[in-house]
Amino acid sequence: MFQPYDLTPLDHFSPPGHLNISLIFSLVDKDHAQALRRVKDAITRVVSEFPFLTGMVVPSTQPDGRSNVLQVRPATAAELKECPILVTQYHTEPTPLTVDGKYNTVLVPFPIVYPPPNPSHVLRLKANVIGDELHIVWCFDHRVIDGSGFATLAFAFASFCRDLNAPRPSASAYAQEKIRHHIKEIASTATPQDLQWTTAPPSTGKDKVSTDSSRVPISVLRVLDSRKIEKLHQACNTALQSLPEKYTKGLSEMSLSPNLIVSALVSICSSRARSRAFPDEQESSSEIFLVANIRKALNLPQGYIGNTIVGLTSKFDVSAHPPLETLRDIHVALPLSPVGPEDIWRICNIAQTLQEESIHLGKRYAQGMIATMSRKRDWSSFQPRWGMNSFICVSDLKKGWFYGDCGPLGDLQLFDLPFDAIPGFCWIMPDPPSASLLPHPSWRLRWNLERAAIEHLSSDPLFQWASTPSEDRKHAKI
């Protein structure tokens, strides 16, 4: 049991709803019953260390009149009976992972809907045995746990799978409480700073999820060729050195990272796919929101489970023509064809803006954002435009810790994030263990857009070029 607690402003900033993450293990030559017992025992140990994981997210009444503030309270016996922390199912019939482009609902512990229900489960899991594979699907409310927080839970789970008597996590439940209190102190003492992202319009209370099939969000796994990304990365940095100073945002001496190049590519291709899918409704400009973790800027322990994400943003218009003087200075090598100077310019422009924002995202600004959020009378008023047609959120998980030895379950074979509740998200996925055998691991992307936009994505020239394997890799296993 635990005492109810209010979520922090950073928790209220995150996408409102549940993420579903699937951890896939091979059960070949393993004792199925022993593996499932270890899953149950390890999860029991995890929730005993962090009891709030069993709780429910509900509205919180504030004495000062602030609205849309949420808290986590213990689940009732009836709520736990209706939806236990962990359920297990043996699938005797062939079970597809997707149905009509959507993640198969029989694999999740409860229906994932947007907006989320009230009350909302903090964390529930379902262990699915499908043939010789075990798919453990974790569904958690993003307003309580962010990506780094999930990595902490996954690390603890793996540790307890190997040894049920393993030492408890360093960031205990008590430590989590102290960190939340520290964030509250920051909110009350820091100097407010302007929020850099475009906030969502107020909810009318009548918002409906579209039933138009073309607008249904679906999630697809797409792979970008590493050799192509290397060439694109080199071309962008070369172009950056040749551009007139007024177009380099003062960053001409700096190098853009491959992750920024991929993020910019995702935003451009997503915007063009959406404009082709919905030509009458596309806004004049789009906005990329690149997730940034401010744990380090706030001096918070890495083991903190709550949210510490904000965003680096860049607005752009893919239909606008770049300045002619910039195109004259951008020379594209033949191997990049059909990528032209226009796309090189767009990628550089977006990536530079994101890098410029990251430079300014220090302790003072991070604390100031929390202070600004905390002072709002309505704690839903500072959310970005999650799910809107001109908004794409990119989250980089490539260097995250998710793969490891899980005792009787063996090594994790695949980490997947087939979230498809609302459109406009792309995750740069962590490399699977097999990637270590390749000199140039591919870029795996979990791309979530409207169905019609996904269909147009495959015909985008920039995406086609980046996703087509290089000649020396066509026979390599990705």
> Tokens standing for 282?
């596309």
Cβ–Cβ contacts within 10 Å for residue 26, how many? 15
Query: 361 to each of 356, 357, 418, 428, 447, how far by Cα in Å?
Result: 9, 6, 30, 21, 26
What's the pLDDT score for residue 309?
94
Find out whether 135 and 43 touch, Cβ atoms under 8 Å. Answer: no
What does the buried/exposed string (b/e) look like for 139-175 if buried means 16 or more CB atoms within 10 Å of the residue's CB? Answer: bbbbbbbbbbbbbbbbbbbbbbbbeeeeeebebebee
The domains found in the chain, sorted by start residue, are: 5-175 (3.30.559.10), 213-398+418-466 (3.30.559.10)
| 219 bridge partner residues | 448
Q: Which of 135, 224, 212, 202 is nearest to 423 (CA)?
A: 212
Distance CA 47, CA 45 (A): 6
Q: What is the pTM of this model?
A: 0.93
| Per-residue pLDDT, 129 | 97
- Give tens-digit pLDDT for 346-355: 999 999 999 9
Nearest Cα residue to 25 out of 166, 218, 154 = 154
Q: Which residues contact 449 (CB under 8 A, 6 or more apart)?
A: 217, 218, 270, 273, 274, 423, 424, 457
- Identify the CA nearest to 329 among candidates 232, 243, 251, 439: 243
In the chain, which residues have pLDDT < 70?
Answer: 202-210, 247, 249-254, 282, 284, 334, 436-437, 439, 472-478
